[in-house]
Amino acid sequence: MGGTTWVYIFLGIYIIYCFYWGLKGYFTEKTSAGYAIAGRSIPFFAFLMAATAASFSGWTFIGHPGLIWRDGLAYAFASFYVLTIPITGTFFSKRTWLLGKRYGFITPGDMYAYYFNTEAVRWLAVLTAFLYSMFYSAVQLMASAALFHYVAGVPVTWGAIFMAFIVWFYVCTGGLKASTWVGVIQFILLVGGIILLGAYVLAQMGGWSSFSAEIAKLGPRQLEVPRVINWGLGGAKGETGWTAVMCLTYMFALMGIQSSPAFTMWTFGIKSPKPLAWQQAFMSTFVVGFALFYFTAFQGMGAKVLQLQGVINFAKDSDVVPLLMTTYLPGFALGLVFMGAIAAIHSTAAPYIGTGGSILLRDVYWRYIRKQEASHSEQIWVNRILATVVTIAALAVGLTSKAALVILGALATAFGFVMYVMLVGVIWGFRYPSIGATLGVLAGMVAVFLTYYVWPNPLSMHSAFWGTFAGLAVAYLCRGLGIKDKEETVQRQNEVRAFLDDIDEPSESGKQWRKIMKIVVPVWYFFAIGPACILGNNAFSISGFPPLWSWQIVWWILGIVMMWALCFKAEMATTTAVQIDRAEKETMIVVKEA
Amino acid sequence: MRIMKKEDVWMIVLVGFSILWTAAFGIGIFG
């Protein structure tokens, strides 16, 4: 059988699986929270895999190898997002879950608005969620359509509509539970697909010895970080933009994925916070890291070698994965890897479309249009309509405005990182007045826009850094100016702080580990992906990997140890049975469900 | 009394695997 036939066979099986979970959810979820956050009942393994799949989008699958091909190993530092995406979860998720349980928050807007006692922050969260849902999903859907076109010859417009329809169907019928269960299979396909394609490329190169010898012939542009910092806008002339500080601040942007409203909302949905540490330390950092540091890099570096040998000519970075797939994969493997790419794309689009609809429902329709008076069934139906609106909007933007799409899709993650301004306040008690939080987030968004679009990457640092830097600066400036909160806000915040400090107090050994980790984590950031990563240009070489690649592998392995220490030993992501029991009982619901 | 927790065992196994896997490239297992 030919490759296209296998593509359609796998696609058929996948669609049946997606529709099964969608319809199952349709007939079982009867409450608003049941639909929007799966009745806080997402089980351990499902969350472990689905949250990992959602974190790593289709861009990981298709865009990442393409950029390694274009910019070389300096760009491959981006693979460290296997650690920096979940580390945001390590910082915030457990406490977010505890707060969701106690106060009955459904959307991140509920949490921010309650803590800062102002509705302005709710609207900022809604705006971020909307940007994320629409533009990030649009990027994903268009990527799936482009791949479908490449592999099976389906016109891009029809491919986009078809791919959007599959996601729309299972999200709208089954809600978050369906997204999660489809996410499980998507995780397996995503990781399996990356490994399979990378393995084929390695075999194509005649094994590691000859591949390694070919890589060694590449120039410094492919094998080195150009400099620590560039005192200007973007990279220096004639070099890639991947200075050491760009590698670092680009990771900040990706840290925005798990601080985005969608992920905060998902955290409210999990049954127990038990899977968090396992998802962060092992599923993301180890499993996805294993796929990216070896197999994705094989694809990107392999493509470069193949091009220099005159075997395949890649015109642009987005051609790399589709061309490798159609050139080297036999029928069955092509079907499987194609499904891996589609799964990667859907696994990200689905939760963003789903949570985007839910946030619009709860924070706008239910709260402001219906004045908190709508039945469960009305909420579920409006939620479905809003998710449909988000899907159609994403599709419309994707099909009409490619330039805006790229800009706004990239802005989304940086905006997610700006949410740190609110999260460090709510979760860890960083003190600034409510007006500081509001103006801080606003200033952060403006700074992101300016440093992305108007003056791109000042000092060769990513807009995500400038956004959160500006956000925190403004928040603390408001405090410095002596702006005070209302008494009600102060009391409310003190009550939240007392609850969190009491229920989430680490054990004696946990406190010791936290002390150590306060030094270890910055040191890891500094050497692995920060200014000192330039040392990797010629530090050491292992097993035939060029020095920079060896540096990345070693710091990745150390990163697994660091995440284990941070999540488990420092108790940043673990919970005890007593904590969970207390969270179940000590409720003080402040958000009406229906 | 259990000496090591489940997560400690997993960490050792996964880090050990990563080291062996990387070494496998050096000793020519992958050609």
Q: Could you say which of A202, A286, A568 has the minimum Cβ distance to residue B30? A: A202
* Contact partners, residue A494, CB within 8 Å, separation at least 6: none
Quote the pTM value.
0.94
Whole-number Cα distances in Å, B27 to A204, A209, A385, B14: 19, 10, 58, 20
Nearest CA in chain A to B31: A207
Q: What is the DSSP string of A529-549?
A: ISGGGGGGGSS---TT--HHH
- Partner residue facing B30 (CB), from A207, A290, A556: A207
Residue A593 domain-assigned (yes or no): no
> Is there a contact between B26 and A544 if contact means CB atoms under 8 Å apart?
yes
Burial category of A119 from C-beta neighbours within 10 Å (exposed 0-12, middle 13-18, buried 19 and up)? middle
Chain A contact present for B18, CB below 8 A: yes
The tally of CA atoms less than 13 A away on the side-chain side of residue A308 is: 16
Phi, psi (degrees; rounded to nearest 5) at A458: -60, 140
The C-alpha of B14 sits at a distance from chain A's nearest C-alpha, in angstroms, of 7
C-alpha distance from A521 to closest chain B C-alpha (Å): 17
Count of CB pairs separated by less than 8 Å, A with B: 56
Domain that holds residue A99: 3-585
Q: CATH number of the domain at A39, please.
A: 1.20.1730.10
- Does residue A594 lie in a domain region? no
Q: What is the pLDDT of residues A204-236, one digit of tens each?
A: 999 999 999 999 999 999 999 999 999 999 899
Confidence (pLDDT) at B2:
63
Residue A590, domain member (yes or no) = no
Amino acid at A553: I
The whole-angstrom separation of Cα A339 and Cα A345 is 10
Number of domains present in the structure of chain A:
1
Instruction: Tell whether ipTM is more than 0.90.
Output: yes
Mean of all residue pLDDT scores within chain A: 92
Q: Is residue A311 part of a domain?
A: yes
pLDDT value at residue A324: 95
Q: What tens digit of pLDDT does each residue of B14-31 get? A: 999 999 999 999 999 998
Here the tokens at position A241 are 């933009």
Does residue A443 fall inside a structural domain? Answer: yes
For residue A289, being part of any structural domain is answered with: yes
Q: Is residue A591 part of a domain?
A: no
Asked whether residue A592 is assigned to any structural domain, the reply reads no
The phi, psi pair for A42, rounded to 5°, reads -75, 120
Beta-carbon separation of B11 and A543 below 8 A: no
> Is residue A572 a contact partner of residue A89, using CB atoms and an 8 Å limit?
no
**Cα A17 from chain centroid?**
24
- Which of the residues in chain A have pLDDT under 50? none
Q: Which residues of A touch B14 (CB under 8 A)?
A: 282, 286, 560
Please tell me the predicted confidence (pLDDT) of residue B1: 53
Of the candidates A175, A184, A178, A181, the residue with the CA atom closest to the CA atom of residue A33:
A175
Q: Look at residues A340, A342, A386, A332 and name the one whose alpha carbon lies nearest to residue A364.
A: A386
* pLDDT for A208: 97
Does the CB of B10 have a partner CB in chain A at under 8 Å? yes
Any CB–CB contact under 8 A between B25 and chain A?
Answer: yes
